[in-house]
Every structure is written in C-alpha cells, then in structure tokens.
Copies of this chain bind each other. A is one copy, B any other.
Amino acid sequence: MKILVVNPNTSPEMTADIGRAAKKYARGDTEVVTVCPSWGPRSIEGHFEEALAATATVETIAASRDDYDGFVVACYGDPGLAAAREVTQVPVVGIAEASMLMACTVAHTFSIVTVLPRIVPMLHDLVRTNGLEPRLASVRATPLSVLQIEEDPGRAEKEIVAAGRRAIEEDGAEAICLGCAGMGPLDKAVQRALGVPVFDGVAAAVKMLESLADYGVTTSKVAAYRDPEPKELVNCSPALQGAAR
C-alpha cells in the first residue's frame, strides 16, 4: 500500500525525521511518502497554530486524495483529522489516537509525555474527545519546545525519561505515549530507560493503516465523516475547492 504521512508542522528537518520513523516500522511492501504543507506554522504549540495547521493539513490531503491508500496526520493534536476523513475515501489516522489505542492493548493505563505546559489542557481535551479518559493516567509536560527536541535530542531524551518516570511512579502509568511527533526517534531509547512500552504515534498510525488495509475497511461515511456537502468555498485554493466537489 501507499501511505502519505503529513507533518502539520512546516519544519523540513522534523518532516524528515518523521519520514524516517514512519519507514522504519512500515512493512516491506508499504510505500511511505512524508510531506509537510506548503504553508503554516514551523511548529505547533497551541490552539492558534493547530487551527492553521488543520486547514493546511486537510488541503494537503485533499490535493493527494486519489494518490494514496491511506493518510497519517503526524502531529500529536491530530489537527484536521476529522476534516480529512470527509475529503477522502481512504482511511486517515492521527498519531495521537493511534498511539493511545495501541497502548490500550498492552497497558491498563497510559500517560502522555509532551512538550510545553501550555499543551497539557489541549491534550486533556484530545483524550476526552477520543473518549479515552478512563485509560489515561496523566499528561506530563516537559520544558521542551517542539523544535528543541530535534536541536538537542540528548536533553530531550533526559527530560522525557524524567517525566515518564514520574508518570509511572506517581500517576500509575503502565505505558508512555510520546506526545509530539518530534519525539518519535527517541521511542526505543525511552522504552529501554523506563522499562514500559513506549509509543511513537507515527509508527502506531502506520501500523494501523496497514491493518485497516489488510482487513479491507475504511472510514464510515454515514454520519460524522460524510463527504462535504457541495457548496461554494469563497477564495479557497483549488485543492480545497476540489475537496467539496
């Protein structure tokens, strides 16, 4: 199958990292292409940037909707995920949902370790929207910004391990979801350090797409994710226009 991984953060370095993570765990017969939108925030650390990135991400997916067998939204707020499901017939998986759902099969409860403290309420909303609060032990912030992870992976690993350890010892977490796509490359190092399963959402989303493809199911189109109603989209890009055709 052929998967497009869209990094909603417009950072080429981070996009390259995500691409490597996606390919590392993809099956031999899975082709993975990774891109970021042509516009939008370099990194996503709040609702404002997430709103922009959602539009940019759905535009990117709409433009390629006939060219892939599945899409990954590779930012841990799953920006534009529901919208993307409307504009394509093939499955779209978010890295946050994928990591959390997969964690449920190996752990009674999980924690999310993420970037700046301002992200914490956003992630609580995300978990709540996914209906998974009963499985959440905690959301733990680090002092890291998104782009600092890549700039200093050694420091990032230390901070993530420290936050993860507190989640295990104080909050009862049995698995850790890495709450930023940029943390993906550190997954196995953190797992070794903590001794519990650690999930990079990019890897989890790729595996989920492969599973959906093998099993022959795709997005339900009867209610929440119906195709957009045909209508005028004023001053919008051709890709967006096409999505509502």
Contact = CB atoms under 8 A, between A and B. Distances in A.
B46 A229 contact: yes
A91 interface: yes
A48 B80 CA distance: 8
Interface in A95-149: 97-98, 101-102, 104-109, 116-118, 120-122, 125, 128-135, 145
A174 B224 contact: yes
Given A129-B129, A211-B208, A229-B45, A220 B175 contact: yes
B145 A135 contact: no
A32 to B, nearest CB: 13
Contacts of A52: 55, 58, 233, 236, 240
Interface residues of A, number: 96
Contacts of A104: 97, 101, 130-131
A243 B222 CA distance: 38
Interface string A163-178: 0000010001011000
A40 interface: yes
Interface in A183-241: 188, 191, 195-199, 203-204, 207-208, 210-212, 214-226, 228-229, 231-236, 240
26 contacts: A25-B215, A46-B86, A51-B58, A52-B58, A52-B240, A54-B54, A91-B106, A97-B104, A98-B105, A102-B212, A108-B225, A118-B223, A118-B226, A121-B224, A122-B224, A125-B129, A128-B128, A129-B129, A172-B223, A174-B223, A195-B222, A199-B217, A207-B210, A207-B214, A207-B215, A208-B211
A218 B106 contact: yes
B51 A55 contact: yes
A99 to B, nearest CB: 10
Interface in A50-82: 50-52, 54-55, 58, 80, 82
A43 interface: yes
Contacts of A215: 25, 102, 199, 203-204, 207
B48 A235 contact: no
A221 B196 CA distance: 7
